[in-house]
Amino acid sequence: DRPPHLQRNFVYIDHGDDVASVPIRVMQWNILAQALGVGVDNFVRCPLEALSWSRRRSLILEEILAYRPHILCLQEVDHYYDSFQPVLANLGYSSHFCPKPWSPCLDVEGNSGPDGCALFFDESRFELLDSVNIRLSAMMIPTNQVAVVTTLRCRSSGRCVCVAATHLKARSGWEWFRSAQGSDLLWHLQNLVQELGGGNSNVKVPLLICGDFNAVPSEEVYRRFATSPLGLDSAYKKLSQDGVSEPEYTTWKIRGTGECCCTLDYIWYTKDTLRVDAVLDMPDEQQIGPNRLPSYSYPSDHLSLVCDFSFREKE
């Protein structure tokens, strides 16, 4: 009796070779904190019943299991200890969670604790080398936004990859703040890959940065990532015809204050060391439906981003 899931397909990127590779599947998703969804967001076209935790919990887990990513980056997780950590641990995932210092979930009656970023990885595919929780700063001042940065070693190839999951400050008027937070994250990552390379700048550690940046592609923080000396590119550009534009939306919702259809979520990767083999397409307007997201068929106002990557040959 449940409504159909959004049917999405992978778009395979032709590299003009037939080298058999076992890709690394990466999923980025702001799952919508339960406390914010029912207590703050005011999704006026979404029935409260569709927002019940039991329904949403099932749909979120089904979405994750439908794609079975090796690396999973989630934002707005306010049910880590009671749901995602134990359920995904049973499925072979190891994980790290970083709550926001002053989560707005805590202001909602009946909340389940602070929301934060969580990073999961498939233990059969990767070995944990290190994980750090970072509180992002803006102009040297600690902020309410965080990142989880986990360094992994691929068990089959022996190659390392450093993965970050983050959620930058929301709302308009805060563009400069997001840019400063983004710069801080890039600074941390730069230091980390330098350390991992043993100070040798020729050793390039592959990087993946997944997040709800709360920034459209025209914002300064996007430009900072796109032009960073780390050599990053945004994976979802591969979906576009020209290969240079972001999707039209990664979130689509109607609040009391109006409709919001925009691209805020990204998967950044180091283009020298990783290549994109496949990208999960975005559902079209008709699939999303007139009431937009979340809905009975989709549990978050943000769509999941799923990509397959493989390591490039070393020079």
Q: Does 41 bind ligand NDP (CB under 6 A)?
A: yes
- The residue among 218 and 227 lying less far from ligand NDP, judged by its C-beta, is 218
Which positions from 89 through 118 interact with ligand NDP, judged by CB under 6 A? 100, 102, 104, 107
Dist. CA 1–CA 91, nearest whole Å: 26
Query: Any idea how long the chain is?
Result: 315
63 lies in the binding site for ligand NDP (CB under 6 A): no
> Applying CB under 6 A, does 184 fall inside the site for ligand NDP?
no
* Residue with smaller CB distance to ligand NDP, 211 or 283: 211
**Interface with ligand NDP by CB under 6 A: which range of 33-41, 44-52, 122-130, 197-205?**
33-41
Q: Which of 52, 58, 144, 191 binds ligand NDP (CB under 6 A)?
A: 144
Q: Which of 63, 78, 212, 308 binds ligand NDP (CB under 6 A)?
A: 212
Binding residues for ligand NDP, total number by CB under 6 A: 16
Task: Provide, rounded to whole angstroms, the least separation between the CB of residue 34 and ligand NDP.
Answer: 12
Please report how close the Cβ of residue 166 comes to ligand NDP at its closest, in angstroms.
Answer: 11
Q: Does the footprint of ligand NDP cover residue 259 (CB under 6 A)? A: no
Q: How far is the CB of 107 from ligand NDP (least distance, A)?
A: 5
Query: Shortest gap between Cβ of 69 and ligand NDP (angstroms)?
Result: 20
Largest CA distance in the chain: 58
Q: Mask: binding to ligand NDP, 12-31, rule CB under 6 A, as x and -?
A: ------------------x-
Q: How far is CA 304 from CA 8, 60, 272, in A?
A: 11, 10, 25
Query: Any contact of residue 40 with ligand NDP (CB under 6 A)?
Result: yes
Closest separation in Å from C-beta 20 to ligand NDP:
39
Among candidate residues 147, 142, 269, 162, the one with its CA nearest the CA of residue 212:
147
214 touches ligand NDP (CB under 6 A): yes
Instruction: Note whether 170 binds ligand NDP by CB under 6 A.
Output: yes
In terms of CB distance, is 81 or 102 closer to ligand NDP? 102
Stretch that binds ligand NDP, among 48-56, 148-156, 166-174, 291-299 (CB under 6 A): 166-174
CA 206 to chain centre: 17
Which CB, 29 or 225, lies closer to ligand NDP? Answer: 29
For the bound state, the minimum distance from the C-beta of residue 105 to ligand NDP, rounded and expressed in Å, comes to 8
Q: Report how far Cα 255 is from the mean position of its chain's Cα atoms.
A: 22
Instruction: Give the footprint of ligand NDP on this chain (CB under 6 A).
Output: 30, 36, 40-41, 76, 100, 102, 104, 107, 144, 169-171, 212, 214, 255
